[in-house]
């Protein structure tokens, strides 16, 4: 018996609609935690299958108590984005179309769409036109791709082919990274054989910005091939490295400059915040996510490389069974580690088409304004201290007085209470020895009213903790 496509997909749509329209009223935490969900979902491998519609009903009934409202308007954890409905619709079609977008000639529509999206991304981010973009699962992999292209170029220039011959016996490559770089940079370095510990960590200031003079001092100690990793948007403070200075120092020393801008690179789309990235266009590779500020559904990241040849060289595979590549063709898989892949360019094309340049700029500026509103409301309450310069969408706050241990205990208690009260979700992190509450405004659904409600929820939680 064949599947009744319409009935099955209509049911999936109805469930998706019910979930998304109910999100603004959802509690901040799932009703069941991971361990409870594991028990709920556990069971023997089915011997015989079941009707897809019955499977779908079971899937939804089992899952819903364990879904985190990440696409909701008061979710401020990590830096999450919110899977915009337009991007989700395009992503559904990607699944329904079932295109394997590894090669362009068998999948002309989605491959051409990815190529167009590549050009649009370079325009909206105002990065060197003609750079290549690998559409990855996220910024972690994009960091790996950008750094692999860097590895290819700096070692080729030193007379060694790392793609053919690997790293055994290769000239050592110095990697200089800001001390407050995101963990994904280190995991990317680990993945490409550079090691996460074998790096020079360059001192940063109180906002996490790399100190240019510290870079200048360190880079002079490394005569061979080298890579500098800078950052646009520190995960806690949102701070930007001083790119003009860093890039000039790196250029003079002959280094490749890679920039992790998983969310912060989107400041380039705005008039009000673009200045934070001044000089960044002089780098060699850049990373950002679609699934953060562009609101593309997961998974969506971009590895942007000025040196298209090094990028391709670091990623390309070829075999006689694969379609021939004509001169000038853009092969989607030539810029990412995978061959078979979903058509990741399609939801990106869809979001850029839906928002337009102006819509992207408005969204980013609106979030920055909402973050300032959040910080101002919290700062009015005695005992709450805003710990960063709120330049973009990130706010970090500390609660209470006394020593770092006492403030950590108070801050953790406030975070736990906010999560339990269920109005909004915030997380925590260690910032330069202080445990802080992290607030990241990155959902397209968030309004000023959501910020007011959430600030009240946090202040009330703090008052309750203080009274204990």
Ligand X SMILES: Cc1ncc(COP(=O)(O)O)c(C=O)c1O
Smallest separation (angstroms) from ligand X to the CB of 287: 7
Q: Which of 235, 246, 257, 418 binds ligand X (CB under 6 A)?
A: 235
- Partners of 437 in the β-ladder: 397, 428
Task: Determine if 407 is a binding residue for ligand X (CB under 6 A).
Answer: no
The piece of 15-23, 40-48, 152-160, 258-266 that touches ligand X (CB under 6 A) is: 258-266
Task: Determine if 182 is a binding residue for ligand X (CB under 6 A).
Answer: yes
The piece of 133-141, 270-278, 367-375, 376-384 that touches ligand X (CB under 6 A) is: 133-141
The encoded tokens of residue 352 equal 């850029």
Specify the residue, 134 or 233, whose C-beta has the smaller distance to ligand X. Answer: 233
Smallest separation (angstroms) from ligand X to the CB of 292: 7
Task: Determine if 267 is a binding residue for ligand X (CB under 6 A).
Answer: no
Smallest separation (angstroms) from ligand X to the CB of 263: 6
Specify the residue, 143 or 419, whose C-beta has the smaller distance to ligand X. Answer: 143
Q: Which of 140, 236, 277, 454 binds ligand X (CB under 6 A)?
A: 140
Specify the residue, 151 or 292, whose C-beta has the smaller distance to ligand X. Answer: 292
* Footprint of ligand X on 284-323 (CB under 6 A): 289, 301
Task: Determine if 414 is a binding residue for ligand X (CB under 6 A).
Answer: no
Number of residues that bind ligand X (CB under 6 A): 14
Task: Determine if 218 is a binding residue for ligand X (CB under 6 A).
Answer: no
- Phi then psi for residue 132, to 5 deg, are -100, 150
Smallest separation (angstroms) from ligand X to the CB of 141: 7
Specify the residue, 218 or 289, whose C-beta has the smaller distance to ligand X. Answer: 289
Q: How many CB atoms lie within 10 A of CB 427?
A: 15
Interface contacts to ligand X, rule CB under 6 A: 78-79, 138-140, 182, 184, 233, 235, 260, 262-263, 289, 301
């Amino acid at each position: 018996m064949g599947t009744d496509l319409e009935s099955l997909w209509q049911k999936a749509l109805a469930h998706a609609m019910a979930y998304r329209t109910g999100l603004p009223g959802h509690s901040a935490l799932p009703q069941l935690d991971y361990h409870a969900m594991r028990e709920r979902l556990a069971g023997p491998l089915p011997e015989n299958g079941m009707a897809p519609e019955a499977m779908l009903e079971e899937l939804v009934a089992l899952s819903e108590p364990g879904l985190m409202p990440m696409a909701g308007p008061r979710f401020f954890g990590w830096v999450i984005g919110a899977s915009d409905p337009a991007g989700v619709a395009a992503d559904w079609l990607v699944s329904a179309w079932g295109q394997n977008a590894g090669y362009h000639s068998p999948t002309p529509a989605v491959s051409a769409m990815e190529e167009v999206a590549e050009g649009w991304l370079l325009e909206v981010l105002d990065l060197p036109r003609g750079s290549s973009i690998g559409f990855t699962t996220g910024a972690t992999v994009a960091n790996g791709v950008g750094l692999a292209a860097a590895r290819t170029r700096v070692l080729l220039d030193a007379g060694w082919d790392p793609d053919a011959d690997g790293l055994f016996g290769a000239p050592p490559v110095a990697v200089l990274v800001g001390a407050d770089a995101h963990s994904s940079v280190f995991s990317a370095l680990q993945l490409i054989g550079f090691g996460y510990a074998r790096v020079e960590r360059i001192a940063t200031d109180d906002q996490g910005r790399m100190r240019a003079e510290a870079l200048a001092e360190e880079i002079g100690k490394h005569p061979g091939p080298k890579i500098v990793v800078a950052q646009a948007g520190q995960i806690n403070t949102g701070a930007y490295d001083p790119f003009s200075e860093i890039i000039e120092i790196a250029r003079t020393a002959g280094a490749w400059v890679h920039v992790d801008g998983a969310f912060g690179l989107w400041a380039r789309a705005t008039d009000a915040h673009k200045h934070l990235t001044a000089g960044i266009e002089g780098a060699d590779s850049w990373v950002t996510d679609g699934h953060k500020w562009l609101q593309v559904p997961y998974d969506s990241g971009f590895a942007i490389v000025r040196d298209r040849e090094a990028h391709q060289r670091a990623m390309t595979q070829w075999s006689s069974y694969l379609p021939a590549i004509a001169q000038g063709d853009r092969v989607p898989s030539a810029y990412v580690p995978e061959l078979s892949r979903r058509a990741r360019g399609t939801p990106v094309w869809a979001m850029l088409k839906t928002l337009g340049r102006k819509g992207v700029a408005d969204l980013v500026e609106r979030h920055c304004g909402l973050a300032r509103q959040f910080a101002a409301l919290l700062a009015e309450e005695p005992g709450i201290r805003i710990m960063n310069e709120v330049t973009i969408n990130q706010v970090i706050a500390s609660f209470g007085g006394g020593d770092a241990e006492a403030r950590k205990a108070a801050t953790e208690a406030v975070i736990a209470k906010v999560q339990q009260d269920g109005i909004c979700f915030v997380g925590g992190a260690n910032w330069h020895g202080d445990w802080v509450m992290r607030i990241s405004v990155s959902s397209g659904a968030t309004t000023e009213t959501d910020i007011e409600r959430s600030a009240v929820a946090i202040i009330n939680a703090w008052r309750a903790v203080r009274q204990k």
